[in-house]
A and B are shown apart, each in its own frame.
Chain A
Amino acid sequence: MNFVSYKKTVQMICSLCLLLLIASCSYGPASQATVLYPEEKKEVNELWPDKELKSLFAHYWFLRFDGRVKDSFAMEAPYFKAIVNENHYKLYTKGAKKNELIDLTVLDIIKETNRLYEIHYQIRFKNAEGEEMLRFRKDNWLKMHDHWYHVLRDKMIFPM
């Protein structure tokens, strides 16, 4: 094999690898929920304290609706994980698995303290009967030691 044909072969292999990489990125399983902002309040997108939280928020809700309990439980605040049994959490979150998440619209992001943020959002999903549902919710996120944690607050189910 001369140098020119060797170079061609290497080029072909590299191109093939690149194509495979692109294909896997395009068709691989999504891990983020679709996050939208209201037409009249697009600036909410600027209120995220950092890119990481923006991405984690979308990822967390994707996991919740996908029924990946272990993964979403791992994102909860350390005190919550210490107190709440994972099976109890599984029972609490299993309702979401029956629904199909359409999108989340972030309505507001409020800085409660330097570490704690409250996200106001609406969640659009299809229930088990195929009906489109809309819910308004608030989510809390805590930053500690450069790491974001979801703060699940439900006084009825998990009085803390």
Chain B
Amino acid sequence: MRKLFIISVQMILLGFAATYSFGQESQQDVQKLYQDPLIAKGDGFEIRQSYVNRFQEFIEQGNEKTTQAEYRKGALQLKLFALEAERMNLDTSLLEKELGEKEDEISEDESFEQEVKLRYLYFKNILDTYVLDDLIIESYYYAHPNMFADENYESGYIPLDMGVQEDIRGRIVGKMYRKILQKEMEELKKKYHVEIVGENK
């Protein structure tokens, strides 16, 4: 009988503790929601102000500053590009090798750093694979004859072969990157059903 009583008390206490801690968590959640407002959400992710602040910190490390609206846009881009890079299984270890990073140099905020790397890989992948119409490449080649002049060729010009085409493609895509990024963002926003919350709607 005594044993049964002790067990019952323990159960009640455990129950109370559980209720109490649950109540405390809820309160903390509410507080967190209040202090860390939601900025945007989409399929499988949400962006809170703390994430935007982390992004701002990261940008300002490079001695650049911009508006809060731009930081929010940038944070959303970082998240979407990183998600897409993950979905495409882009390998960040190749980038780590390229940058010469060692394991002991991994920063404290590992997941954020990982997202930055994934974003870079995704961006690089977009530019590397962006297809340009032949007419765009041809028009650049024929409008800039001095750029391709070479006396070693009978015609006086380097022919428009695969190498030259790739060189021109790189030049043009490099100048189009803002347009490309904007288009990509619009597509990803639709794909992930992104909803912008708050003042930047």
Contacts and interface: CB of A to CB of B under 8 A. Distances in A.
Contacts, number: 47
B172 A116 contact: no
Nearest to A81: B136
A141 to B, nearest CB: 10
B113 interface: no
B3 interface: no
Interface in B163-201: 172, 175-176, 178-179
B136 A78 contact: yes
Interface stretch (B32-40, B79-87, B140-148): B140-148
A127 interface: no
Contact of B140 (A79, A112, A113, A116): A79
Tell me whether chain A's interface is mostly helix, strand or loop, or mixed: mixed
A142 B141 CA distance: 11
B136 A113 contact: no
A144 B145 contact: no
Contact of A113 (B133, B137, B142): B142
Given A79-B172, A83-B172, A83-B175, A160 B136 contact: no
A149 to B, nearest CB: 6
Contacts of B139: 77-80, 142, 144, 149
Q: Size range of the interface on B?
A: 10 to 19
Given A79-B137, A82-B132, A140 B172 contact: no
Nearest to B141: A79
Contact of A82 (B142, B145, B176, B178): B176
Nearest to B135: A78
A116 B179 contact: no
Tell me whether chain B's interface is mostly helix, strand or loop, or mixed: helix
Given A82-B176, A83-B176, A151 B143 contact: yes
A44 B35 CA distance: 74
Nearest to A149: B139
B136 A116 contact: no
Q: Size range of the interface on A?
A: 10 to 19
A78 B139 CA distance: 6
B101 interface: no
30 contacts: A77-B140, A78-B133, A78-B135, A78-B138, A78-B139, A79-B136, A79-B137, A80-B139, A82-B133, A82-B136, A82-B172, A82-B176, A83-B172, A83-B176, A85-B178, A85-B179, A112-B145, A113-B142, A115-B142, A116-B142, A116-B143, A116-B145, A142-B139, A142-B142, A142-B143, A144-B138, A145-B135, A151-B143, A160-B144, A160-B175
Given A77-B143, A79-B139, 9 more contacts: A78-B133, A78-B136, A78-B138, A78-B139, A82-B133, A142-B143, A144-B138, A144-B139, A144-B142
The 3 closest A-B pairs by CB, nearest first: A79-B140, A78-B139, A77-B139
